Amino acid sequence: MGDAANKRVTVQLALVVVAMFGFGFAMVPLYDVLCDLTGLNGKTGVASAEGLDGVVDEERWVTVEFTANVNSQLPWKFHPNQKRIRVHPGKVYAASYYAENLSELAVVGQAVPSVTPSRSARYFSKTECFCFNQQRLEAGKGEEMPLRFIVDKALPKEITTITLAYTFFKSEGEG
Domain presence at residue 138? yes
pLDDT of residue 46: 52
Domain presence at residue 154? yes
pLDDT of residue 32: 53
**Which runs of consecutive H residues, i.e. helices, occur in the chain?**
3-38
Distance CA 175, CA 154 (A): 44
**pLDDT by 10s per residue, the chain, length 175:** 678 888 888 888 778 777 676 666 565 555 555 555 544 554 555 554 444 567 899 999 999 999 999 999 999 999 999 999 999 999 999 999 999 999 999 999 999 999 999 999 999 999 999 999 999 999 999 999 999 999 999 999 999 999 999 999 998 755 4
Domain presence at residue 56? yes
Domain presence at residue 30? no
Domain presence at residue 17? no
Extract the runs of DSSP E, i.e. beta strands, from the chain: 45-46, 62-70, 76-80, 84-87, 92-101, 107-116, 124-129, 135-137, 142-151, 161-170
Q: What domain range includes position 79?
A: 40-170
pLDDT of residue 145: 96
Domain presence at residue 123? yes
Domain presence at residue 78? yes
Helix (H, G, I), strand (E, B) or coil at 91: coil
Domain presence at residue 88? yes
What's the structural domain count of the chain?
A: 1
Predicted TM-score of the model (pTM)? 0.71
CATH number at residue 54: 2.60.370.10
